[in-house]
């Protein structure tokens, strides 16, 4: 299957640059995954779409202020660093720009030396492993010196960094937000609980794969980068009970989907307390074992994310829906509108 098969025309002006004032005021496209039948509404319509007994699974990862701006200690050259994954102690896998200026042994200074990092390993496409040096607590220093790592297609400055966090963000470790969750407020979640919808959480720390495009012609040749996930015993028991009772499991976002499918594939459709690294790549032809539906944003052309949603329905149905979203001027990507595939 070719990457080009998942291309569509997206006018640049439809890329949402800023979050809406009210998280729930985004639009919502509701689509039947079998027939492709669609209807349009507001995100608050998700209250009517979900029924008592449904289990809604959200990713409670918290985005780190993972973009750092520093200088080389020896030359003063400006260096940008994006933290991606903590590998051990104070060692982090990162993306560095310009990478050609950072070789093994290079030291970068941030915040007038409050934080420094030494390159210990060189990777591909700007990847570098850095060892950080500091006084105090690393995450406190990072919170003072770092910036939110907004995706490259967003050029506007984010005035309130909390708008790139979900209201339920808890476990720090992501390089990007699980953006489908940005539409929810505490009030909406509470209304859903009162209706009888079970709300439960997993954690997947969004990493390198979010920032790297598919660079091969055939999707079968693409390698996903591993991301760390966790599922609690409580969540596993909630999901197993839903499976036994024949109730729907609805994931919020591709990250929640990938976590559930990773565990369900290992356990033949059931769930257990688990943590580890997943590099699962879901594209058409994949057999889902965990979920019945998904709430997700509108994704990049030719991305692994549009391949995943196509697997839940079909490539033809999803591309038709995406083309209609363009015609209807839906807002795309992180701060954009949402789709409920059910």
Q: What is the pLDDT of residue 332?
A: 96
Distances 342 to 72, 75, 216, 322 between C-alpha atoms, Å: 51, 56, 31, 16
Residues 9-47 pLDDT 10s: 999 999 999 999 899 999 999 999 999 999 999 999 999
Band (213; pLDDT cuts 50, 70, 90): confident
Contact 224, 208 (CB under 8 A): no
Rounded-to-integer distance, Cα 87 and Cα 96, Å: 16
Q: In the chain, helix, strand, coil percent, each to 5? A: 30, 30, 40
Q: What is the pLDDT of residue 279?
A: 93
Q: Cα 50–53–57 angle (5° rounding)?
A: 70
Distances 157 to 17, 63, 147 between C-alpha atoms, Å: 9, 17, 11
Beta-bridge partner residues of 83 = 94
In the predicted model, what is the mean pLDDT of residues 226-230? 94
Q: What is the pLDDT of residue 208?
A: 64
Domains of the chain by start residue, with CATH: 3-63+160-341 (3.40.1780.10), 67-147 (2.40.10.240)
How many Cβ atoms sit within 10 Å of the Cβ of residue 59?
31
How many Cβ atoms sit within 10 Å of the Cβ of residue 79?
22
């Amino acid at each position: 299957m070719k990457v080009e098969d998942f291309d569509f025309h997206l006018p640049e002006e439809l890329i949402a640059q800023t979050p809406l004032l009210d998280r729930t005021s985004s639009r919502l496209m509701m689509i039947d995954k079998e027939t492709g039948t669609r209807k349009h509404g507001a995100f608050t319509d998700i209250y009517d779409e979900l029924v008592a007994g449904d289990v809604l699974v959200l990713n409670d990862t918290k985005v780190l202020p993972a973009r750092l701006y520093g200088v080389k200690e020896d030359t003063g050259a400006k260096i940008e660093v994006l933290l991606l994954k903590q590998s051990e102690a104070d060692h982090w896998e990162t993306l560095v720009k310009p990478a050609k200026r950072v070789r093994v042994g290079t030291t970068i200074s941030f915040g007038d030396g409050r934080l420094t990092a030494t390159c210990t390993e060189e990777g591909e496409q700007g990847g570098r492993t850095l060892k950080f040096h500091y006084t105090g607590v690393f995450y406190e220093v990072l919170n003072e010196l770092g910036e939110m790592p907004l995706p490259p297609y967003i050029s506007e400055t984010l005035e309130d960094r909390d708008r790139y966090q979900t209201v339920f963000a808890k476990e720090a470790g992501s390089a990007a937000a699980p953006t489908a969750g940005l539409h929810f407020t505490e009030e909406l979640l509470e209304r859903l609980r009162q209706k009888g919808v079970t709300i439960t959480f997993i954690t997947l720390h969004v990493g390198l794969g979010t920032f790297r495009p598919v660079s091969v012609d055939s999707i079968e040749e693409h390698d996903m980068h591993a991301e760390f996930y966790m599922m609690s015993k409580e969540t596993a028991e909630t999901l197993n009970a839903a499976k036994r009772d024949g109730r729907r499991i609805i994931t919020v976002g591709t990250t929640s989907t990938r976590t559930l499918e990773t565990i369900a594939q290992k356990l033949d459709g059931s769930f257990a307390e688990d943590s580890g690294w997943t590099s699962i790549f879901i594209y058409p032809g994949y057999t889902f074992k965990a979920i019945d539906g998904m709430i997700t944003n509108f994704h990049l052309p030719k991305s692994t994310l549009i391949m995943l949603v196509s697997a839940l329905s079909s490539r033809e149905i999803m591309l038709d829906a995406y083309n209609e979203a363009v015609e209807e001027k839906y807002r795309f990507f992180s701060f954009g509108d949402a789709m409920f595939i059910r």
